[in-house]
Amino acid sequence: MSIEIARRKSQKSPSYDDLLQPVVYGVLPDTSDDEISLVDIFSRLASQWRFISIAIVAGTLLAVILALVLPTVYQPALKVSIPTAGSVSVLGTVNAVLGGKNGIQSSPQAVFTRYYDLLRSGDVFAEYILDSHYLERLFSGITEQKSQLLAGLASGFRVNIEEPVPAHKGGYVADPKRLAVSIEVRDEAVGTELLNNYVKYVNQRLASNLQADTRAIIRSRIEILTRQVTRLREQYSQDRKLTIKKMEQEGAKKIALLQEQLSAYLAKEKANRVTRIAKAREALAMAESLDITYPTTLGAIAQKGQSNKGGNTAITVVDKQTSSLYLQGTKYLSTLITTLENRSNDEEYLEEVNSLREKIHVLKNDQTLAALKKRRSDDPWIKSLPETLAEIGALEALHPDFTGMASFSLGGSAVITGEKVKPRRKLIVVAGFVSSLFVALFVAMIMASLKEKKLNTEDNRETSD
């Protein structure tokens, strides 16, 4: 303090003559008296050594108390990686039945990616913690709300990708290969149990999701195939009905045509019978005139004519035929005419009519048409139906069980090590000491400056007096 007072007294106040000195522009005034040297700084700090010491000690003590008061935090950890092909083989079996396009992703990488998404899901983590009552075990006796405790616990839960290494910390990786999972807890034993059980819980959760997805796919596929079967049956039933209708129409046309042919044959035969009767009458008249009673020949008639007494009757018949109708004699011709006139139906004497009748009968009793009408199911005639029904049967018989599936490979369970990650007491004490030192020095400088300003003000008043 005496050094500071002597220094201030040695400084001269400007006189009236000094104030009247001319100012030379372009030349800076001498400011050497306004500069602060290191000596001045250290002298000021030295003048506040008591405050600085007290502040440092107080800050260090606060840091020590804080280090002792902060709860001990542990960080159990484990590692999981992509599963083996055998661990997810059940998915391949399901896909073989469902088909590649209709199935689910069954590769180990695809399964592990889904596992990673669930593992880092905040909703899944919160659900697991609440259902397992880990909050009560980790924070027994703490009166904070569950939401706050859960948020604090979730903030210490980390899932980091170790392979492949992300381009930057926290960066996105499409297909992770290995993960490091850790959680910060106060009770290492409970935290270790929590972490080991959580990775298994996520695996079960993923298995349940895959099973639900598979069942939904199976139901959807069965519905699609059932609709296909229904459409096939309806289509074949409609085609069969159209075929029956077409066959009936074609059969009716053919029967009508045959009926017309039959009527034409019968009409023709009737006309032929009338013609035969007319010819028979004419021949009967000739036979009567020639006195031909029984069938004879032209030679016999000529011989008979030569043997007559008159010898004047001579019959010369020039006919290329060896015999004619009148040569049959009156007996035959009379019987023929009577028979033809008494005939009531000519159909029995026509072979063509029998053939037509047979064709009509076949058309009216078409066995193919009758079988189509009697058919109750078209399934045996649908070529693609057996394969579709077999696929439906395979899907209905498919009851996948994913409980034994492992969607990850465990690199080692979390174990109790006793290593604390928080608080770092030495670091806290050192940081408290350094921080209090800088704060104390800064405040001491301000206090010294304020004190010096006060002394300068007092000196100026004494000088003016």
Convert the pLDDT of each residue in 150-162 to its tens digit.
998 899 899 999 8
Give whole-number Cα distances, 300 to 82, 290, 325, in Å: 125, 12, 15
E strand or H helix that includes residue 451 = helix 425-464
pTM (2 d.p.): 0.60
- Of 47-61, 111-125, 248-262, 284-298, the range with the lowest mean pLDDT is 47-61
* pLDDT value of position 422: 62
* pLDDT value of position 3: 41
Convert the pLDDT of each residue in 345-401 to its tens digit.
888 888 888 888 888 999 999 999 999 999 999 999 999 999 999 989 988 988 888
Tokens in use for 157?
């839960």
| Residue 439: Cβ within 10 Å count | 14
For range 408-424, the mean pLDDT = 82
Type of residue at 36: I
Angle ∠(126,130,132) on CA atoms, nearest 5: 115
- 123 against 316, higher pLDDT: 123
The 3-class secondary structure across 24-36, one letter per residue, is CCCCCCCCHHHCC
Query: In this model, does residue 26 exceed pLDDT 50?
Result: no
CB burial string 173-203: b at 16+ within 10 A, e below: eeebebbebbbbbebbebbbbbbbebbebbb
* pLDDT value of position 102: 58
Phi, psi for 81 (deg, rounded to 5): -140, 180
With beta carbons less than 8 A apart as the criterion, state whether 229 and 151 touch.
no
* pLDDT value of position 76: 92
For range 29-58, the mean pLDDT = 69
Please report where in the chains the tokens 């395979």 appear, as a residue: 394
Tokens in use for 160?
């980091």
Q: 73-219+393-410: which CATH architecture?
A: 2-Layer Sandwich (3.30)
Percent of the chain at pLDDT > 90 equals: 37
Tell me the range of 13-22, 107-116, 345-354 where mean pLDDT is highest: 107-116
Plot region of 99 (φ>0 → left; ψ -120 to 50 → alpha; else → beta): left
- Average pLDDT value for the chain: 82
- 322 against 355, higher pLDDT: 355
- Of 222-236, 305-319, 353-367, 377-391, the range with the lowest mean pLDDT is 305-319
**pLDDT confidence bin for 419, thresholds 50/70/90:** confident
Domain boundaries, the chain: 39-70+424-465, 73-219+393-410, 241-380
**DSSP state at residue 185:** B
Tokens in use for 354?
């029998």
Query: In this model, does residue 426 exceed pLDDT 80?
Result: no
**pLDDT confidence bin for 309, thresholds 50/70/90:** very low
With beta carbons less than 8 A apart as the criterion, state whether 83 and 404 touch.
no
Convert the pLDDT of each residue in 194-215 to its tens digit.
999 999 999 999 999 998 888 8
Residues sharing a CB contact under 8 Å with residue 172, sequence separation 6 or more, in sequence order? 166
**pLDDT confidence bin for 224, thresholds 50/70/90:** very high
For range 19-44, the mean pLDDT = 55
Query: In this model, does residue 23 exceed pLDDT 60?
Result: no
- 37 against 161, higher pLDDT: 161
* pLDDT value of position 4: 46
Query: In this model, does residue 29 exceed pLDDT 60?
Result: no
**How far is residue 323's CA from residue 297's CA, in Å, rounded to a whole number?**
6
Query: In this model, does residue 322 exceed pLDDT 70?
Result: no
364, 366, 367: which is closest to 259 by C-alpha? 364
